Amino acid sequence: MKNHPLFVIFLLTIVCNIQAQISLFDNTIIHEIKISSTDSNLWQNLTDDYNNGIASDNIPYRSVTIEIDGFIMSSVGIRQKGVSSNTTVSTTKKPLKLNFGKFVDGQKYDGVKKINLGNGVGDPAIIKDKLAYNMLRYHGIPSPRVSHAKVYIQGQYWGTYALIEQIDKRYLKRNFATDNGNLWKNKGNNDLSWQGTDINNYPFELQTNEEENNWSKFIEFVNVINNSSDADFKNDLENVFHVDEYLRILAIDLLINNSDSYLERGRNWYLYHEPKSNKIHWLPWDYNLTFNRGEDGDNDFDILNSENEKILIDRVLAVPEWKGKYLNYMCEILQINMIRERLDPELDALLDLIDDDWGSTNNFFTVTDIDNAINGNTWTDNTFQEKTYQGLKKFITDRAEVVQTNITAQNHTCNPIIQSINVKDVVINEFMTSNDDGSQWVDQDNENEDWIELYNNTNFDINLTNYFLSNDNSFLHKWEFPENTIIQANSYLIIWPDKDVHQVGLHPQFKLDKDEGKLFLTHLDGSLIDAVEWDTEIAKNTSMSRFPNGTGDFQNIAVTFNAENSTLLSIKDSFTKLPFKIFPNPAKNQLNIKFKVLPISTSISIIDITGRQVYSSEIQNRALKIDISKFKSGLYIANVTNETTNFSYKLIIK
């Protein structure tokens, strides 16, 4: 048989593309990205496009074929990017941007549309972005994911790059309650001072909802920062801005000397107005010039940023409550986040990963430079600032000591972070990933949402301050329990992962996937308290439950919302074998329960929508009257149980 060249090419493409996409942000491996084009002058054309378009911020993409870890994608957009990271480089190892969906609508790789390829200017090991974003996520701040890749262009090895996730709608969907809000990128040097209501006076670009072009929330935010009176400032800013998130970002930025940010140069951040909370989030960006500190401590920021006049920082830290929280966050970061015990293994693992794959002279730092930048006392930046800085490990040690001294000088005491529970003291006990409309399991707004049930295996109440739930192993501290959330001894707590962050109660900004997913319960110090993973579809209105309750493996047994997991009959069977009436419903002052036949050992408990038990009793007679006159109005669940059955009944108390 004579092979037809086009058929062979087509067949090879099919074979390559039936391979699964390897996770782009798997940082246990060095990825390989091979860029090819029929354009023999591809690189020169990319360079010309950059030089001609950088001044007007209009650099066009060119279409190329990309192979990522063996997976081939055609018609992918590529262009050069950056400013100083591009113009100060003496080799062709320029920063790049890939746009998988530029020429093919909807085309993505591993769920992302765009990826940034950082070339390591000012960062020999190309690790500073990864390290900073890791620290931010550790303290509950959404941040881009980072991995590393060897890049080839037209068959030639181009160098090792950092792969940095783009902040766009896909990023917003993964990290926030909604992705349909307005996203602004700071495109210049800006101190957020008041420049009036004309949006052209601000160097920001609206990157979502461009047709509506609604800047009202942005103008409101800047107006509050500048023009709200001292008496009203705290309340006004809290109404429009996630202040607590910003305090954490500010603490980390100052700790790691982030000069190329709002702190000093007024650069590198996004603002996102999330519609459900109706507040603006500060999204940090571009950390390749962080962790810089001279041998004698030059380049250090004062912990109050007093040397740089930035109105947002000045006014926020002038509020005593916020200044105290900010210093507390600094204390936390120094105790559990920016510490050698946590960060050294990450630095060592990366060095082991990339030193054997460095190779080409196109990498403008040597392997020795990389080692010095991590392990040495000093290293010299010959790409950008022509300065000598401390190695990363020495920076972490020395900077922490200086900041701790500065905190003490503020007459602030750092209290130790204490983890109050052990592994499996509190467990993920039951969860439902598809709660269909009309079911009996509803939240406080009478909505059928997915739910997670925690159980306290101990005989004492547990405060869940500094504990987190997440569905993402790259962001374990995704949703933090509100301060002083209590799960009572040997009791249950219901969480509604529905992205309804604006509602009262426990509503994380993520949802559960019925087909496959993960759940993690962790502490701020990084301890894993409990976790569960599933890889098969969970049917509607069914749950996965630990059996025996609180200790066993997960099984698909009868739903026992906010009650003990057992080998119970279905709710339908329970109703048949345990007939009773609860009335009236809605009820106001008194609730009545009547049984035709009362099984032995029957009891009732009533819980409110937060999972707190407000009433419990053994049922001795076929008729029971319950005084509910002191119950608050709202939705409640009555659990009626005996030795073999369990029935959950929805109540409304007026």
Q: How far is CA 285 from CA 269, 329, 522, in A?
A: 5, 20, 26
Place 575 in a pLDDT band, splitting at 50, 70 and 90.
very low
Residue 364 makes CB contacts below 8 A (sequence gap 6+) with 89, 90, 91, 93, 120, 382, 383
Buried b (16+ CB within 10 A) or exposed e, 250-278: bbbbbbbbbbbbbbbbbbbbbbbbbebbe
Q: In this structure, how many other beta carbons lie within 10 angstroms of the beta carbon of residue 88?
A: 16
3-state helix, strand, coil in the chain (%, to 5): 25, 25, 50
- Ramachandran region of residue 410, left (φ > 0), alpha (ψ -120 to 50) or beta? alpha
Arithmetic mean of pLDDT over the chain: 90
Structure tokens at 67: 């192979």
Lowest mean pLDDT among 170-174, 246-250, 258-262, 604-608: 604-608
- Indicate the Cα dihedral angle 129, 131, 133, 139, nearest 10°: -160
Q: What is the DSSP string of 483-506?
A: TT-EE-TT-EEEE--BS-TTSSS-
- Nearest-angstrom CA–CA distance, 160 and 195: 42
Higher pLDDT, 555 or 323: 323
pLDDT at residue 4 greater than cutoff 60: no
Q: What single-letter DSSP state applies at residue 559?
A: -
Structure tokens at 498: 């529905």
What amino acid occupies position 394?
K
φ and ψ of 247, to 5 deg? -60, -40
> Which alpha helices (DSSP H) does 139-186 contain, by range?
169-175
Mean pLDDT for 497-522 is 94
Lowest mean pLDDT among 155-169, 397-411, 433-447: 433-447
Mean pLDDT for 61-80 is 97
Strand partners, 95: none
Among residues 20, 43, 42, 24, which one has the least CA distance to residue 32?
Answer: 24
Q: What single-letter DSSP state applies at residue 587?
A: B
What is the pTM for the complete model shown?
A: 0.84
- Nearest-angstrom CA–CA distance, 10 and 255: 54
**Percentage of the chain surpassing pLDDT 90?**
69
Domain ranges of the chain: 5-169, 175-352+363-409, 418-567, 572-653
Contacts 24+ apart (CB under 8 A), 350-357: 350/27, 350/125, 350/127, 350/130, 350/148, 351/125, 351/375, 353/27, 353/28, 353/29, 353/30, 353/148, 354/30, 354/125, 354/126, 354/148, 354/160, 357/30, 357/150, 357/160
- Nearest-angstrom CA–CA distance, 394 and 283: 28
Residue 4 makes CB contacts below 8 A (sequence gap 6+) with none
The reply to whether domains 418-567 and 572-653 share a CATH topology is yes
pLDDT at residue 291 greater than cutoff 80: yes
pLDDT of residue 558: 83
* Contact between residue 111 and residue 175 where contact means Cβ atoms under 8 Å apart: no
- Torsion over CA: 250, 251, 252, 257 (sign): positive
pLDDT tens for 93-136 read 999 999 999 999 999 999 999 999 999 999 998 999 999 999 99
pLDDT of residue 93: 94
Higher pLDDT, 572 or 224: 224
Q: Which CATH architecture fits 572-653?
A: Sandwich (2.60)
- Nearest-angstrom CA–CA distance, 205 and 357: 38
pLDDT tens for 197-221 read 999 999 999 999 999 999 999 999 9
pLDDT tens for 552-568 read 988 888 889 999 987 64
Mean pLDDT for 503-526 is 93
- Indicate the Cα dihedral angle 245, 249, 251, 254, nearest 10°: -160
* Contact between residue 334 and residue 340 where contact means Cβ atoms under 8 Å apart: no
Q: Is 613 helix (H, G, I), strand (E, B) or coil?
A: strand
* Contact between residue 278 and residue 215 where contact means Cβ atoms under 8 Å apart: no
- Nearest-angstrom CA–CA distance, 104 and 101: 5
Q: What single-letter DSSP state applies at residue 333?
A: I
Place 357 in a pLDDT band, splitting at 50, 70 and 90.
low
Residue 610 makes CB contacts below 8 A (sequence gap 6+) with 444, 493, 494, 505, 506
Q: Which CATH architecture fits 418-567?
A: Sandwich (2.60)
φ and ψ of 252, to 5 deg? -70, -45
pLDDT tens for 246-286 read 999 999 999 999 999 999 999 999 999 999 999 999 999 99
